[in-house]
Amino acid sequence: MPASTRPRNWRLDELAAALSDASEAAAAGVNADIESRQAALAQQRQASASLAQREAAIATSRAGRDSAEAAHRDAVAAADAATQALAHCRGAWQAESAQVPEDSRDPVALGEALRQAQVALAGLEQALATAQAAERQAAAEDAGAQAALVSARQSQAQSAERLANADAALAQALAQQGFADASAHADARLDDDAMQALDATLRTFDRQLAAAADRRERAEAAAQALDTPDVEALRTALAASAATVEDLVRQQAERARSRDALLQCQQRLQQLDQAGRDIEARFAVLGRLAEVANGNNPRRMTFQRFVLATLLDEVLEAASMRLLAMSRGRYVLQRVREQADQRSAGGLDIEVFDHDTGAARPANTLSGGEGFLASLSLALGLADVVQSRAGGIQLDTLFVDEGFGTLDPESLDFALRTLLDLQQAGRLVGIISHVTELRERIDVRLEVRPGTGGSRVLLTGVPVAA
């Protein structure tokens, strides 16, 4: 409750207490009440004397307040200028930032670049906030002091008025010795709870008044320690920071373009990689087949050589039957299964299995006569395989060119016996040779005889028709 109501309430309480006891039987107590009210009047006069002292203290406080208000106005002006400059810079920065794509903004990089400017701005904002807080505190305390002064003056006037009214009421009460009626007495009377509430309100106001005075003193001390900010230096730093921000934004845009180009390249590479994977998956089987067919295998055998090796096995099987007979059961032709030299293609090499030694050896280790027999066996075996695969076509003629001179008589006999067997089977066997033994054992011969006039051909051994 305001202090201006305290004397009135106190006076009403006393009056109520006095009037509550007013009756015909309590007339003698009126004199005692007059004495108590005179004592209260003396206290009011003492309060009036202390009021003059308070007015002097208020005048001193007002002078200090005017000084603080002047300093505060200066600080507010400087803070407003700095705030306007800061708002302008922020508006420009926001306008520039709005031109940058959303996905290209990097707050971390921009924050690092703006760190120096933000430090200076933070100091200015802190100074501005301190000055504003001090100004608000000083204004609040000054308003409290003014309100307290006005309240004190009103309280003084009201106390004087209440004192006069109380004297008049006391005179009337003394004359009449009571109230006009019971309802008026009931309306004017206050209970003990209301009086305690009013007393608590007054004590609270006194504490708030003391706290306001303390805050005002601290505000004045804080305002004296403040320095005027260097606005020009801050503007220069802000301009430098804005230039730095612009340069960083430009660099960020260039890096964004480079990043977009790199992302496009990466996307294209990913597409090509995926396409390559699809191609590899599609042609994995074909590629493996191509590698095997081209000889990329442990035996280094191509598909063509594999097919030829199959045919060669058939030829060797047929030739071995011939060679086994001509070599008197000693030699058999077979294909080399294991390749010794991995640097060259394999699968078509021929070796000879010797039944006398029980081991296989290369075909080039055969003697001249043995080699001729092996070659003749291969030729005959090839003829047999070709004839079996030719769909019924017969190879009726076979020519053997030389090689018989390398045979010993027994081997020559076995070779001729084989050729005679072919002849008896219906084939025409022609032998080209200079060996005399062959001429004696062949009935029909086509001899080429050289002469001075040139070579001439002579057919001998042809039977004459009857």
Taking only the tens place, the pLDDT of each residue in 127-140 is 788 878 888 887 88
Which range among 8-17, 218-227, 317-326, 362-371 has the greatest average pLDDT? 317-326
- pLDDT at 190 > cutoff 70: no
Distance between CA 115 and CA 203 in Å, rounded? 52
Percent of the chain at pLDDT > 90 equals 5
d(CA 375, CA 316): 11
Lowest mean pLDDT among 78-87, 114-123, 294-303, 435-444: 294-303
List pLDDT tens digits, range 250-278: 999 999 999 999 999 999 999 998 888 88
Task: Compare 187 and 196 and report the one with higher pLDDT.
Answer: 196
Domains and CATH numbers, the chain: 3-248 (no CATH), 300-390 (3.40.50.300), 396-466 (3.40.50.300)
Quote the pLDDT of residue 4. 45
pLDDT at 7 over 50: no
In this prediction, residues 3-8 reach a mean pLDDT of: 46
Task: Write out pLDDT tens, residues 400-413.
Answer: 776 677 777 777 77
Write down the pLDDT at residue 430. Answer: 78
The pLDDT assigned to 100 comes to 65
Which residues are bridge partners to 359 per DSSP?
354
Provide the whole-model pTM: 0.36
